[in-house]
Amino acid sequence: MAGRFAPSPTGELHLGNLRTALVAWLSARAAGVPFLVRMEDLDRVTSSVEHEHTQLADLAALGLHHDGVVVRQSERFHRYEAAIAHLRDQSLVYECYCTRAEIRSAASAPHGPLPEGAYPGTCRDLADDERAERRAAGRRPALRLRTHGETVAFVDERLGEIAGAVDDVVLRRGDGVPAYNLAVVVDDALQGVTQVVRADDLVPSTPRQVLLQRLLGLPTPTYLHVPLVVGDDGVRLAKRHGAVTMRDLAAAGTGPAEVLSMLAASLGLARPGERVAADDLVERFDPATIPPEPVRLADLQRSEP
Ligand code: GLU
Ligand code: ZN
């Protein structure tokens, strides 16, 4: 049994990422299970080892120490390929030759209960000669999961039961890189992760991941999705919102202790301005105190000591 934080090392962690990491760490510590960190560096163009180091240093500065070695997805492609092979054996994999633009225009047509932007199934039933034609034109196929319009439900510890229709999710991109939804499912299972804590922008992906778990014969962990931190314009936190990383904040005179205090207050775990250590928060941790709405940067900053 374990909990985990799974950042993409494509930049510095911002306050939203750090707040989610704090919840993931608290959830693991409160349950007395190991807390793992996994680097989701499937995209090797945007990922870097420097970002990994900075992210780990930021977590450590807040007192969010991890257990065991840090795993990198870029070193585990063979495991994802084994899972694809397992799905292929069940005739659940097909080649998709669509470009992004083709999917966008096809997906804008109404197609029943599927979520917006869902893959409309264009390549599901291509004949051999149609496939050969596309291949001859130099297109490299992505691999997709053959679904059957399933609606899959899961229970979130904060949000309760959530059901979503599942589309033919990508398993491997056209450039050969395994897809996020597959990698996350394989890794959580192989690492013994029993609690998934992450940002709530991934709620719509969770039914897909639960379906993949079932098809691969893997267990389903518990889920706790944490609301995002947004800028004062209501948009998900980004560099342009100002001092949003530990480095920016330190330069502005706000050190790790103040950052932890702000994050704890925003989660209902400390009074605004109260000095706390991460370890002190473990016994206060309760997913029910996490405010349901996205937190605005200005509100976070208001509780700075
Ligand atoms: N790597 C993803 C992210 O940084 C998180 C994936 C997950 O926690 O399942 O948004
Ligand atoms: Zn297609």
Are the CB atoms for 305 and 273 separated by under 8 Å?
yes
Are the CB atoms for 18 and 246 separated by under 8 Å?
yes
Q: Is 23 in the pocket of ligand 1 (CB under 6 A)?
A: no
Instruction: Give me the pLDDT at residue 133, please.
Output: 95
Separation of alpha carbons 169 and 163, rounded Å: 16
Instruction: Give me the pLDDT at residue 109, please.
Output: 58
Q: Is 200 in the pocket of ligand 1 (CB under 6 A)?
A: no
Domain boundaries, the chain: 3-75+227-302, 78-179
Q: Is 42 in the pocket of ligand 1 (CB under 6 A)?
A: no
Separation of alpha carbons 38 and 36, rounded Å: 7
Architecture of domain 78-179: Alpha-Beta Complex (3.90)
Q: Is 4 in the pocket of ligand 1 (CB under 6 A)?
A: no
Instruction: Give me the pLDDT at residue 62, please.
Output: 98
Backbone angles phi, psi at 165, to 5 degrees: -75, 145
**pLDDT category, 112, cuts 50, 70, 90?**
low
Proportion of the chain above pLDDT 90, given as a percent: 88
Instruction: Give me the pLDDT at residue 239, please.
Output: 87
**pLDDT category, 50, cuts 50, 70, 90?**
very high
Separation of alpha carbons 52 and 70, rounded Å: 10
Which ligand 1 atom is nearest residue 198's CA?
8
**pLDDT category, 279, cuts 50, 70, 90?**
very high
What is the whole-number distance in angstroms between the Cα of residue 179 and the centre of ligand 1? 12
What is the whole-number distance in angstroms between the Cα of residue 197 and the centre of ligand 1? 9
In the predicted structure, residue 117 carries a pLDDT above the cut 80: no
Go through 125-151 and write b for each residue having 16 or more CB atoms within 10 A of its CB, e for each that does not: ebeeeebeebeeeebebbbbbebeeee
Least confident of 23-37, 93-107, 121-135, 152-166: 93-107
Express each pLDDT in 69-110 by its tens digit.
999 999 999 999 999 999 999 999 999 999 888 888 876 655
Q: Which of 198, 201, 209, 225 to mutate to test the pocket of ligand 1 (most atoms within 8 A of CB)?
A: 198
Are the CB atoms for 213 and 146 separated by under 8 Å?
no
What CATH number matches the domain at 3-75+227-302, 3.40.50.280, 3.30.70.2860, 3.40.50.300, 3.40.50.620? 3.40.50.620
Looking at residue 201, what DSSP letter applies? Answer: G
In the predicted structure, residue 243 carries a pLDDT above the cut 70: yes
**How high is the mean pLDDT of the chain?**
94
Q: Which of 39, 184, 226 to mutate to test the pocket of ligand 1 (most atoms within 8 A of CB)?
A: 184
